[in-house]
Amino acid sequence: KLGDKEKSRDVLEQGFGAFIDSQSILIGLINYYMTNNQDPNRLFELISLAKENEPNNASLYYVEGNIYNELRAADPSKADEYVEKAVAAYDACAVINPEYEFGYIGKGVMFYNIAIDLQDKAANEYDDAKYQVLVEQFEKALIDAYEPFVKAYEVSKDNGIRVNVAEYLKNICYRFRDKEAKYQEGYDKYDAVVKSGQAE
Q: For the segment 42-85, what is each residue's pLDDT rounded down to a tens digit?
A: 778 877 877 877 889 898 899 899 889 988 988 889 999 999 99
Supply the pTM of this predicted model. 0.84
Model pLDDT for residues 153-193, shown as the tens digit of each residue: 999 999 999 999 999 999 999 999 999 999 999 999 999 99
CA nearest to 20, candidates 137, 51, 6: 51
Rounded CA separation 91/198 (Å):
28
Alpha-helical (H) ranges within the chain are: 5-18, 23-35, 41-53, 58-74, 79-96, 101-123, 128-155, 159-176, 181-196
Average pLDDT over residues 116-137: 96
Average pLDDT over residues 116-128: 95
Rounded CA separation 169/7 (Å):
43
- At 2 the pLDDT is 67
